[in-house]
With several copies, the nearest count.
Chain A
Amino acid sequence: MLEISDQPLDVAAVLRQVEAPGAGAVNAFVGTVRNQAGGRPVRRLHYEAYMPMALRQLEHVVAETRRRWPMLQAVAVAHRVGTLVIGDVAVVVAVSTPHRAESFAACQFLIDTLKQTVPIWKREEYEDGTEWVAAHP
């Protein structure tokens, strides 16, 4: 399941997607909205995605993860877009593998690569303005 949605994400539902009888290990990463960024209080976050490129690039990330970890059983990714407040879930990545170590490595590769290549942007809203995250060096 690869999903980009403006509705609240259901973490448990994403985890259920990767259950498999041959998978003894599930690793999941959940990214949530923090109350601050670099010490500056954050009020809200605004996410936008370029669909369908985001889904296409997400497919590439999953394909590359499967190429590197051929024993991967199942993968599920859900990313939220729209306006999020503190504590809201922005992204859920879950993988299942036969053994433990691979589940950590594959999940970490997947979220790291997603953050580098999938065209999603976020704008942080502070008390006194907003800023596009990572836009400038």
Chain B
Amino acid sequence: MTPESLPATQPALLTVLLFGITRDIVGQSSLSLPMPADGTVGGLFATLRARYPALAALRSLAVAVNSEYAFETDPLHPHDEIALIPPVAGG
């Protein structure tokens, strides 16, 4: 085995829950994604926008970490509950 293939060097996987129109855009209700290189919410946004250009057309898009709205600079951890929050429309 080369060092590159050791489990310790593989990026951790994040699970991202999808709701509303983001579930329709992605075509599934959750995504498994590698931890972004910078380990932040902003890095995750970049990955998602690159893979799913339709997300850019939404009125707004937020990321929630453990049931709270997150800032782009917030760090992500492998066991966080992460969700993509398209424009809400309760009431």
Does A touch B (CB under 8 Å) in the complex? yes
Q: A42–B16 Cα gap in the complex (Å)?
A: 32
Q: On chain A, which size bracket covers the interface? A: 20 to 34
Q: Is the interface of A mostly helix, strand, loop or mixed?
A: mixed
A91 is an interface residue with CB less than 8 A from chain B: yes
B21 is an interface residue with CB less than 8 A from chain A: yes
B59 is an interface residue with CB less than 8 A from chain A: yes
B17 is an interface residue with CB less than 8 A from chain A: yes
Q: Cβ of A114: which chain B residues have Cβ within 8 Å of it? A: 90-91
B19 is an interface residue with CB less than 8 A from chain A: yes
Q: Cβ of B86: which chain A residues have Cβ within 8 Å of it? A: 121, 132, 135
Q: A123–B89 Cα gap in the complex (Å)?
A: 9
Give the contacts of B31-71 with A (CB-CB under 8 A). 57-59, 64, 67-69
Interface residues of A (CB under 8 A from B): 31, 47-50, 52-54, 56-57, 79, 90-91, 100, 111, 114-123, 132-137
20 A/B residue pairs, CB under 8 Å, sorted by A: A47-B90, A54-B90, A57-B67, A79-B90, A91-B90, A114-B90, A114-B91, A115-B90, A118-B88, A119-B64, A120-B88, A120-B89, A121-B20, A121-B88, A122-B89, A123-B20, A132-B89, A134-B87, A135-B86, A136-B57
Interface residues of B (CB under 8 A from A): 17, 19-21, 24, 57-59, 64, 67-69, 83, 85-91
